Amino acid sequence: MLSLQFSLPPFENRRSRSKSKLASPNLHDRSCSCRNVMHFLPSISLPKSRIFATAADVVVEEKKRNESVIGPGAPVKKEIFPAGLRRESMPKHVAVVMDGNVRWARKRGLPPGSGHEAGVRSLRELIELCCKWEIRVLTVFAFSSDNWFRPKVEVDFLMSLFEKGIKEELENFVRENIRISVIGDSSKLPKSLQKLITDTEEITKNNSGLQLIVAASYSGQYDIVQACQSIAHKVKDGVIQPEDINKSLIEQELETNCTEFPYPDLLIRTSGELRVSNFLLWQLAYTELFFARSLWPDFGEADFVEALHSYQQRQRHYGGRDP
């Protein structure tokens, strides 16, 4: 779904992007700041020269845009919490289907990779906002099990980018107190990447800031199937009886057992598509859904605030009625 360094033209319709990029929030009350964290999620295949040759252009362009807004060296007003949002009603777990990167690029006459790089920048901003606003878990759909049907050369390139990015950003994860968890059918990943993921999860497991769950080679249907298989083996081995099987037991066998908050409070999907695309099917049973029309690279702070406002205006009954 996502990629690494690609050259971007001046951004359009980024809405609140420049404002959020300029802020340098005081996060001493929160144990992670999440700046410059996300460079590791992969995307489509492009020659390496297109990936790394113009990475500096992106930084220069963003700096020019920022200075045109407030002027170089101008003081930045710090905003810790948006007006209108209730801190006590913030979701603990937000899940995101990041959709629309390729369409974003096509609209601008750019190669698909440019859209995925813009999507990485949106994800980095979202991580920072989740930390700043004390959201505990962010789960992102990075690579679907269906993506394995792409051409082999493309998949191999994606895996190499994934591995390279984790190696480069591991120090940042530790410093920013971010806990990394990866869910999905890891048996399909390259052996070296499997080991790197295991090491990264082990190194960051005691971090107490934002937990970033990356769904790679993930399928909601597969998640339920593997949970059933695990339970079936326990019944066969006499560890449990069939009548012991209940909702709680299944929850313990799902891959989201890596977090204290396995059920997302809010699911956001971008690009106007109205489906969940085989993502966290069991876990979304009572999740509030928000479908944004913005393509993922255009999804910024204003869009996230809109989604959170919508979430906070809803009453969650879990099958019950108003008192």
* Burial per residue of 106-125, b for 16 or more beta-carbon CB atoms within 10 angstroms, e otherwise: eebebbbbbbbbbbbbbbbb
Longest dimension (CA), the chain: 70
First to last CA, the chain: 43
Rounded Cα–Cα distance for residues 289 and 291 (Å) = 7
The residue assigned the tokens 């979304």 is 284
Length of the chain as a residue count: 323
Q: DSSP string covering 173-226, please?
A: HHHTT-EEEEES-GGGS-HHHHHHHHHHHHHHTT--S-EEEEEEEE-HHHHHHH
Give the E-state strand segments of 28-156 in sequence order.
93-97, 137-144
Name the residue type at position 21.
Answer: K
- Does 99 participate in catalysis according to the annotation? yes
Q: Which of 29, 57, 99, 223 is catalytic?
A: 99
152-175 and 191-204 helices cross at what angle (nearest 10)?
Answer: 20
Ramachandran angles phi, psi of 94, nearest 5°: -115, 130
For residue 138, list its beta bridge partners.
94, 212
The residue assigned the tokens 């993922």 is 296
Alpha-carbon torsion angle 181, 140, 166, 100, nearest 10: 170
Q: What is the CA radius of gyration of the chain?
A: 20
Name the residue type at position 3.
Answer: S
Element holding 177 (H helix, E strand)? none
Contact 177, 37 (CB under 8 A): no
Catalytic residues: 99
